[in-house]
């Protein structure tokens, strides 16, 4: 008997989960799938999970492809536990907040550059006169190109 599968005999809540390491061009996992154990009843197909490996820090990320798969209790390979689910929602929320901050900073930077340019042009009386003589001069202030 493969003792790494013995837990399936003593706990009906253990699930065998098929995971993939890569996403194919069709959006589905590439074969082969690798099987892991989990007690997480909320796992769903498409979730990302941390799994044990022999690379990097002995952990990597895989995607759940199938749930409650059949397990060969006598298979020669060890069936390892899923370490945990990856909370992509929290990660994507942080990315969205960062993008909002970047957008505000870019807008403020553009306003500052326009204000600085206007001040520089208006201090130089020759430049001011030349700008006011241009057909694109609008509303009493230089009309700068929109970016």
The domain limits of the chain are 3-86, 91-132
- The string of pLDDT tens digits covering residues 75-104 is 888 999 999 999 989 999 999 999 999 999
Q: Helices 88-123 and 125-132, interaxial angle, to 10°?
A: 100
Task: Read off the pLDDT of residues 107-135 as tens digits, 9 standing for 90 and up.
Answer: 999 999 988 887 877 777 777 788 788 88
Q: State the burial class of residue 62 (Cβ atoms within 10 Å of its Cβ: 0-12, 13-18, 19+).
A: buried
pTM passes above 0.85: no
């Amino acid at each position: 008997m493969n003792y790494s599968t013995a837990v399936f005999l003593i706990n009906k809540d253990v699930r065998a989960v098929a995971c993939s390491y890569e996403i194919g061009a069709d959006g589905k996992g590439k074969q082969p799938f690798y099987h892991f154990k989990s007690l997480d009843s909320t796992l769903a197909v498409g979730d990302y999970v941390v799994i044990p490996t022999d690379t990097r820090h002995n952990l990597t990320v895989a995607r759940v492809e199938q749930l409650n798969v059949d397990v060969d209790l006598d298979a020669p390979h060890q069936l390892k536990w899923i370490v945990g689910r990856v909370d992509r929602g929290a990660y994507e929320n942080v990315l969205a907040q960062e993008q909002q901050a970047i957008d505000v900073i870019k807008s403020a930077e553009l306003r500052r550059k326009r204000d600085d340019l206007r001040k520089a042009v208006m201090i130089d009386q020759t430049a001011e006169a030349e700008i006011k003589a241009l057909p694109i001069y609008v509303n009493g202030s230089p009309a700068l190109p929109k970016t």
